[in-house]
Amino acid sequence: MSCYGAMKPSQRLTAEAFWNDLWSETADESSQRMGYHQRVLTEILAQLVADARKGSTCLEVGCGNSRYLPWLATRHGLEVAGLDYSPQGCRTAQARLQQAGVSAPIYQRDVLDWNEDLQGRFDYVFSFGVVEHFDDPMLVLTAMRRLLKPTGRILTVLPNVSPHSLNVQLFRLVGPRILAMHKLITLEQLRRFHEQAGFETVECRFAGMGISTMTDRKSLARRLLQQLVFRAMQVARKTWECLGSTPPVNSWTALYMVYHGKH
């Protein structure tokens, strides 16, 4: 039985249907279009693999519709693989790989299962927006650690779900249902969760400036408010950049939370 099936409902904050619907909606997005959010993630990922040897193995957990696996394979020469429990997520990830001419396995599995054949196989394991969807992040972090080689590295990136962040405060108004799918975590808690799972911290920080673009989609007023705040943050960020300064990145304005650690 899948470990997901064995978990108490309160421990898993999202359902498979949510991800299937999400990846179905985004499957036709152009792989060439990369906005600010994606550029920040690409820069974070590039830092992780900056010293990687060609042929190093890299697994993305929660790889649905991933544009990063083809990029790692073609730009950095890594042997990539993806894992996702959503059937639609796996299909869209495989489609992106095929579009890029990359042959790589996509495993339709639950990361919380034992996955004995994948244990100790990867130099790098990374996830974008996964651990915050568990009431107990230790479950998924411990599972990901099993997949790393003894010298492996982990990269965990999640939206800024620090309780007092602008992102969370806005979502209380425009996306309460989506917010309920996220565990609120401070940066210090993110570091602590990883270290309790057995990782040695390389860095734990905020990255980017902005807010998430999702809403509950059922209220025009909510969507308008979200877009108003999003555009205001965008203008502020671009103004800082035009002035030749780095936009402020802190617990209130940050777009992402980042953890990089060693096995």
Q: Which of 154, 160, 126, 131 is nearest to 248 (CA)?
A: 160
Percent of the chain with pLDDT over 70: 86
User: What is the domain partition of the chain in residue ranges?
Assistant: 3-159+182-210+254-262
In the predicted model, what is the mean pLDDT of the chain?
Answer: 88
What is Dmax (Cα atoms) for the chain?
Answer: 56
Assess whether pLDDT exceeds 50 at residue 10: no
* Average pLDDT for 3-16: 49
Q: Which CATH number fits domain 3-159+182-210+254-262: 3.90.1010.10, 3.30.70.270, 3.90.1640.20, 3.40.50.150?
A: 3.40.50.150
The 10 Å CB-count burial string (b at 16+, else e) for 76-109 is: bebbbbbbbbbebbbbbbbebbeebebebebbee
- Give the residue-averaged pLDDT of 69-88: 95
Task: Write the pLDDT tens digit of every residue in 187-238.
Answer: 999 999 999 999 999 999 999 998 887 777 667 887 888 888 888 888 988 8
pTM: 0.88
* pLDDT value, residue 222: 79
Question: Quick one: CA dihedral 127, 131, 232, 171, positive or negative?
Answer: positive
Q: Return the pLDDT at 224.
A: 84
pLDDT value for 18:
60
Where is 126: in which H helix or E strand? strand 122-128
Token representation of residue 132: 């915050």
**Tokens 């495993």, residue?**
107
Q: For residue 39, how far is the Cα from the chain centroid? A: 13
